[in-house]
Amino acid sequence: MECIAKLSGLTKEYRNGRGIRNVGLELYKGDIYGLLGPNGAGKTTLLKMMTGLIAPKQGSVTLFGHNTEQSFAAAMSKVGCMIESADFYDYVTAGQYLKSVASFYPNVQKERIHEVLEIVGLTANVKEKIRHFSTGMKQKLALAAAIMPYPELVILDEPTNGLDIEGIVLFRELVTRLSKTEGITFIISSHMIHELEQLCNRVGIIYEGALIQEGNVSELLQDIPSLEQFYIGELQKAKGGPRIV
């Protein structure tokens, strides 16, 4: 299996003492890796570090063989991402926004704008100003931007936030399709554990800044009926309390 992302000993401490400590993780080509953890556990911090938005105090991120601190452009050249809730200049239209995104990538032709709009189901809204978009529509637009440069790795931080039920199902189908047809690898943080259970082949659990458990979903769930029960059990172990599931 080809390792396309390697995170080693990642540590970040904010001034308030929070952050992540000594997190190591590998992604293999074709993985759909789910990142689980309570609020404030460190998921966004970890994903921001993967994309160079935060520099680690210790540790390293290697994407496609390139260290993000030493060769940022090369490391990120096959990466698409959507971190935290999407923020836009909302007086422009969806089409204008995606055109500006496309202009960053020399290999992206303007036809790609319509392609990604169609993929996320926003074709009819191309001329609409973003300020008229719902939260879920903005999430879809951010996803369209993330897949614009034909990425091989897509990093998604809570991508289903604000999506309606149909949007969540579409999102799951879209990730599955992109994984199968384009061979795209995904790492996705989410609180929607049932979605992750259906979608992911591997999951990791972050608790208080540390990766406390990870593995193949099918192996982790050999003796436990659901990812939710596994997750709650692992959190209880980490907190040192008795297991109630």
Ligand X SMILES: Nc1ncnc2c1ncn2[C@@H]1O[C@H](COP(=O)(O)OP(=O)(O)OP(=O)(O)O)[C@@H](O)[C@H]1O
Contact set with ligand X (CB under 6 A): 14, 16, 18-19, 37, 39-45
Question: Shortest Cβ distance from residue 42 to ligand X (Å)?
Answer: 4
Please say which residue, 58 or 123, places its beta carbon nearer to ligand X.
58
Question: Shortest Cβ distance from residue 25 to ligand X (Å)?
Answer: 14
Q: Rounded CA gap, 197 and 202, in Å?
A: 9
Question: Shortest Cβ distance from residue 107 to ligand X (Å)?
Answer: 32
Question: Which amino acid, one-letter code, is at 205?
Answer: I
Question: Shortest Cβ distance from residue 191 to ligand X (Å)?
Answer: 6
The neighbour count for residue 140, using CB atoms within 10 Å, is: 28
Please say which residue, 149 or 209, places its beta carbon nearer to ligand X.
209
Please say which residue, 24 or 183, places its beta carbon nearer to ligand X.
24
Question: Shortest Cβ distance from residue 37 to ligand X (Å)?
Answer: 5
Please say which residue, 44 or 185, places its beta carbon nearer to ligand X.
44
Please say which residue, 44 or 125, places its beta carbon nearer to ligand X.
44
